[in-house]
Amino acid sequence: MTDTFNPDLLAGKVAFVAGASSGINLRVAQRYAAAGAKVMVISRSEDKIAAAARTITDAGHDAIGMACDVRDYAKVVEAFAHCRDQFGEIDIVLSGAAGNFLAPAIGMSANAFKTVIDIDLLGTFNVLHASFQHLRKPGASLVSITAGQAVRPMMYQVHACAAKAGVNQITKCLAMEWGPAGIRVNAVSPGPIGDTEGMARLAPNDDYAKASKARIPLRDWGTKDDIGDACLWLASDAARYVSGAIINVDGGSELGDAGGDALTVPER
């Protein structure tokens, strides 16, 4: 965790981060806290989320954690009420809980498909919907974590592709409906991010990782800090006129395969 960003950027603000016991979302929560926000983090595992909250309080910032499955709307409502009670009106919501695995469509049970839809898509709806009554209005910023699968079909990812496509549409629909209340709704679409559970599942070995990097215009995977910085900007007043946007933080991945001879740079 690097604490180099403006420590006052989110001073006085309250942030709620869903799916924050590990990986990208935990880094976002840490970024928000380092920038001055009070942060509530949730995920399914009581132990993991308590440990995640401790990484923030141990760094000298304000945080609380609660076990909460985003598929359970009543529990999500309870979590927001607790956040409001502890910290006051909520300025920033990050919805990033997700599940994924590689599986061919024909080898995937209906319940396997539904499980990912329920976590990623229904979970995002639950979190954003339940947040509404507790948001500071105007001025609140909602950010969901989507993925390139939302727009680029991918083998063995029919569940994640369908779920994240829905997350993009939730982002745009709520930006339209809630904009008049002064609420901004955006999403960040990470490319492959190193040192994450997501890429451990999708890129099972070094050869795959090397080939993957060779196809990306910027020729590398991103870092959790890259996503943290984008989410920090979207949550801040520096993005006050940004809503309904899907921000790619992906080294250009969404543009397509930039492998092969594309590496040749003409001499000047």
Range in contact with ligand NAP (rule: CB under 6 A) among 32-40, 96-104, 228-236, 251-259: 96-104
Say whether residue 147 binds ligand NAP (CB under 6 A).
yes
Judged by CB under 6 A, the chain residues 173 through 202 that form the site for ligand COA are 197-198, 201
- In the complex, minimum distance from the CB of residue 114 to ligand COA, in angstroms, rounded to a whole number: 8
Which of 112, 162, 165, 209: binder of ligand COA (CB under 6 A)? 112
Burial class (CB in 10 A: 0-12, 13-18, 19+), 234: buried
Touching ligand NAP, residues 188-207 (CB under 6 A): 190, 192-193, 196-199
**Member of 26, 35, 79, 108 binding ligand COA (CB under 6 A):** 108
Only one residue has tokens 């469509």, namely: 105
CA distance 115 to 128: 19
Number of residues that bind ligand NAP (CB under 6 A): 30
Q: Between 88 and 194, name the residue whose CB sits nearer to ligand NAP.
A: 194
Q: Where are the alpha helices (DSSP H) in 58-153?
A: 73-87, 110-116, 123-131
Residue selected from 9, 39, 70, 140 as contacting ligand NAP according to rule CB under 6 A: 70
Question: Smallest distance, Å, CB 66 to ligand COA?
Answer: 18
Q: Does residue 126 belong to the site contacting ligand NAP (CB under 6 A)? A: no
> What's the min distance (Å) between Cβ of 1 and ligand COA?
20
Determine which residue in the list 111, 205, 207, 261 makes contact with ligand COA, applying CB under 6 A.
Answer: 111
State yes or no: residue 150 binds ligand NAP (CB under 6 A): no
Q: Which of residues 220-239 bind ligand NAP (CB under 6 A)?
A: none
How far apart are CB 192 and ligand COA at their closest, in Å?
11
Query: Closest approach of Cβ 268 to ligand COA, in Å?
Result: 42
Question: Residue 24: which residues within 8 A CB-CB, separation 6 or more?
Answer: 96, 145, 190, 193, 196, 198, 224, 227, 228
Pair of tokens at residue 45? 């595992």
Q: Which of 5, 31, 39, 43 binds ligand NAP (CB under 6 A)?
A: 43
Q: How far is CA 237 from CA 4, 39, 86, 171, in A?
A: 18, 17, 23, 19
- Rule CB under 6 A: is residue 186 a binding residue for ligand NAP? no
Give the three-state DSSP class for 233. Answer: helix
Pairing of strands 246-249, 63-67: unpaired
**Is residue 251 a contact point for ligand NAP (CB under 6 A)?**
no
Instruction: Please report the beta strands in the chain, taking only residues with DSSP state E, as ranges in sequence order.
Output: 14-18, 38-43, 63-67, 92-95, 141-145, 184-190, 246-249
By CB atoms closer than 10 A (0-12, 13-18, 19+), residue 136 is: middle
Strands 92-95 and 63-67: unpaired
User: Contact residues for ligand COA (CB under 6 A)?
Assistant: 98-101, 103, 108-109, 111-112, 115-116, 197-198, 201
